[in-house]
Homo-oligomer: A and B are copies of this chain.
Amino acid sequence: MGFVERLRDAIGAKYVLTGDDMAGYDSDWTGKYRFRPLAVARPASTAEVAAVMRAASEAGVGVVPMAGNTGLMGGTHAEGKLALSLERMNAIRAIRPGARIAIVEAGVVLSQLHEAAEAEGLVFPLTFGAKGSARIGGVLGTNAGGSNVLRYGNTRALCLGIEVVLPSGEVLDTMSELLKDNSGYDLRDLFIGSEGTLGVVTAAVLRLHPKPAAYATGMVAVPDLAGGLDLLNRLQRATGGAVEAFEYMPGHYIDAHLAHDKSARPPFEERHEHNIMVEVGATAPRDATPDEAGEVPIVAHLEGVLGEMIEAGRVLDAVVARSEAQRREIWARREAAAELTFAAGPAIIADVSVPLDRVSDFLDRGYAEVSARDPGARFFVVSHLGDGNVHFTVNPSQDTDKLYDAVMEIVEDIVADLGGSFSAEHGIGLGKRASMARRKDKVALGVMRAIKDALDPQGIMNPGKVLP
């Protein structure tokens, strides 16, 4: 029996796609990476994933796990490989509000989990622009970050246990919900962020947090990024560390947003060069319950800090949302980032991180040094300033492919100089393998390669990704 026949036998013929039926599984969502899989398998259960992996292992066929397929680094590129789609494993197996956990399968869409948690007065705080399409399998596979890492951590910090199908088809079960479990090596965090190169994550136990009873959300214009950090530190002190999001948008971001979305309104009457979206979440009733005047304390905290800083000339302008609609408008501006990034045409996207107090240096040098190489280059920047993560996008005036490596190397040189990382939250996939080869500690690369060879000796798990 041939490989495809065996797959049909294992999971049902209608769930194994070949030829033209594979449309929709032949590209990432940006369209940058195009490929033609050998076949697409759409298993519905862990047992079926295991059967698929046993078949692939016996046939020596490469397998590319695919969940929401919203990654930016080509991690799902599956030319001549089996694309293993986890879309049908989309059950939220349980939400246990008392224990503040959700048990979910890899195909659950991120916003579906958000809604299920909110229905219980809880939040799964990880969020980013693609939340309506991204699925938990990809969130785990890439150790996704996003806008709320500052308060809640990245995916690893929000995951208590996982279930993984190994290349051999064996099922690793660490679906623990424990806060303390020192029974051997930390396999969970090894598989999280390994981008499907070590196994297929099929389910997870995720942590939920209490939904803040009130938010204070605003847009703030500052004279420079040092002013932005000053604002962050003052707000953290005033609220006891309740800042949920702290997002930087330079003037050109606001311009691009207004040009792209005709219904959008500018955040301020005047145009400012340095704009920050801030959100603080009140979890204690004391900070969330309106006073006699109807003022919500957490909003008053934010306004108090902003007032002081306006007085001192450290804040140029500020608006604070007075309704959920106004809060939504502020978030929509930030969440347009991915769309705006690709609207400007061929782009070189560097997703990097540096220590918080070096973001300003990074941008100054990035603009100057890339412009020296391509004087006609335009820039599109947005930053999770609260965690030091900068999405630095260059639209070259010349052929993008020709300039790609040169621009990346310029950016990576600056990042290395500032003690940062060439990959903050998008992962490596195909797109950053050259950067891995150039920049990653050589000893670390050797250890990663040894682990890969030990856990996937045939090299069938997402071949050619992550490791150079």
Partner-B contacts on A (CB < 8 A):
98-99, 142-143, 145, 149-150, 153-154, 156-157, 166, 170-174, 176-187, 189-190, 192-194, 198, 210, 236-242, 282-287, 297, 301, 353-357, 384, 387-389, 419-428, 436, 439-441, 443-448, 450-451, 453-455, 466-467
Contacts and interface: CB of A to CB of B under 8 A. Distances in A.
Contacts of A198: 185
Nearest to A446: B170
B174 A444 contact: yes
A-B pairs, top 6 by smallest CB distance, nearest first, are A240-B284, A240-B283, A454-B454, A189-B189, A179-B387, A181-B421
A451 B448 contact: no
Given A149-B179, A180-B425, A184-B428, 19 more contacts: A142-B182, A154-B180, A170-B443, A172-B447, A174-B441, A178-B354, A182-B423, A183-B439, A184-B448, A184-B467, A186-B189, A186-B193, A187-B447, A190-B190, A210-B236, A210-B237, A240-B282, A286-B287, A453-B454
Which of A154, A180, A192, A210 has the most CB atoms of chain B within a 10 A radius of its CB?
A180
Nearest to A99: B355
A190 B193 contact: no
Contact of A427 (B182, B356, B450): B182
B176 A421 contact: yes
A240 B287 contact: yes
Contacts of A421: 176, 178, 180-183
A382 to B, nearest CB: 14
Contacts of A301: 286
Nearest to A422: B183
Contact of A187 (B99, B426, B444): B444
A390 B182 CA distance: 13
A419 B160 CA distance: 13
A127 to B, nearest CB: 15
Which of A183, A436, A445 has the most CB atoms of chain B within a 10 A radius of its CB?
A183
Contacts of A143: 182, 186
A158 B8 CA distance: 47
A388 to B, nearest CB: 6
Which of A145, A149, A353 has the most CB atoms of chain B within a 10 A radius of its CB?
A353
A440 B189 contact: no
A11 B313 CA distance: 57
